[in-house]
């Protein structure tokens, strides 16, 4: 049985005062079937780990190297040292803003594993690709190229985030979400066997309290990677409650 996962990606948001939202989340009763994760900006990772209680803390990206002359970058080892347990890689904003390729994402995932952390590998199609009927081809190519050969349920989470639904208020239909999640599951099982059944698949893209329950009822949706709604404890807690009850 795969445990559910509610992951919050704060992106480039949050100052020290924002940790009050995390402590408010930590004060709520722990859900019985759901793991909780918050990925704050790098400046808050260590402080967040100190006040998060039973909520895991993650990073939003990392370099492929463990150390070296890479000004402005951070290694997975450094994130682990700061208290992180997971790292997001391959988010569409990294792929678009920084030109990250599937091959780079794969190498970053391996670096994350080497540091003893879990990689959250993001996949997603653009609106143009969706309208051209290319969604499954795009997702299949990203999944194959971005996921290392040693992926298991213990070291890897896959997050499907259609680019056109991130922060727009738009979401795919439930049938479209099911199609992609079922496709990803089939690809994982075909490649990794039983380990493919253990890898959690999250949905991301304008998840909020008002639509969480229906999204979490979709097959092979094991949780969510939440952006804006994870910045407020009340909103994210409502999503956690919906996921735990699903």
Domain ranges of the chain: 4-245
Average pLDDT, the chain: 97
CATH (one of 3.40.50.10490, 3.20.20.70, 3.40.630.30, 3.40.47.10) for 4-245: 3.20.20.70
Beta strands in the chain (DSSP E): 4-9, 34-39, 56-59, 86-89, 118-123, 156-160, 200-203, 223-226
Contacts 24+ apart (CB under 8 A), 30-33: 30/54, 31/240, 31/241, 31/243, 31/244, 32/244, 33/3, 33/4, 33/244
- Catalytic residue ranges: 91, 161
Q: For residue 4, is pLDDT > 90?
A: yes
Q: For residue 168, is pLDDT > 90?
A: no
Within the chain, how many helices (H) and strands (E) appear? 11, 8
Sequence-separated (6 or more) residues with CB below 8 Å from residue 103: 145
Per-residue pLDDT band at 171 (split at 50, 70, 90): confident
Termini Cα distance of the chain: 14
Give pLDDT tens digits for 181-224.
999 999 999 999 999 999 999 999 999 999 999 999 999 999 99
Q: For residue 166, is pLDDT > 90?
A: no
Q: Please state, for a pLDDT cut of 70, what percent of the chain lies above it.
A: 100
Give pLDDT tens digits for 94-136.
999 999 999 999 999 999 999 999 999 999 999 999 999 999 9
Give pLDDT tens digits for 39-57.
999 999 999 999 999 999 9
């Amino acid at each position: 049985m795969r445990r559910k996962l509610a992951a919050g990606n704060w992106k480039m948001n949050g100052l020290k005062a924002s940790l009050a939202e995390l402590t408010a989340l930590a004060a709520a009763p722990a859900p019985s079937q759901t793991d909780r994760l918050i990925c704050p900006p790098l400046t808050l990772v260590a402080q967040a780990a100190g006040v998060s209680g039973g909520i895991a803390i993650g990073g939003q990206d990392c370099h492929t190297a463990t150390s070296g002359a890479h000004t402005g970058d951070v290694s997975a080892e450094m994130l682990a040292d700061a208290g992180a347990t997971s790292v997001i890689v391959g988010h569409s904003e990294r792929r678009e803003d920084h030109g990250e390729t599937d091959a780079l994402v794969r190498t970053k995932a391996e670096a994350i594993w080497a540091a003893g952390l879990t990689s959250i590998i993001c996949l997603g199609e653009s609106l143009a690709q969706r309208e051209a009927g290319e969604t499954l081809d795009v997702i299949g190519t990203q999944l194959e190229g971005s996921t290392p050969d040693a992926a298991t349920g213990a070291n890897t989470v896959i997050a499907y985030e259609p680019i056109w639904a991130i922060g727009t208020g738009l979401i795919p239909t439930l049938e479209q979400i099911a199609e992609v999640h079922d496709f990803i599951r089939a690809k994982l099982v075909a490649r990794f066997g039983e380990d493919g059944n253990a890898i959690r698949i999250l949905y991301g893209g304008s998840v909020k309290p008002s639509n969480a329950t229906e999204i979490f009822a979709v097959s092979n949706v094991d949780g969510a990677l939440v952006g804006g709604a994870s910045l407020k404890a009340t909103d994210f807690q409502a999503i956690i409650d919906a996921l735990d009850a699903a």
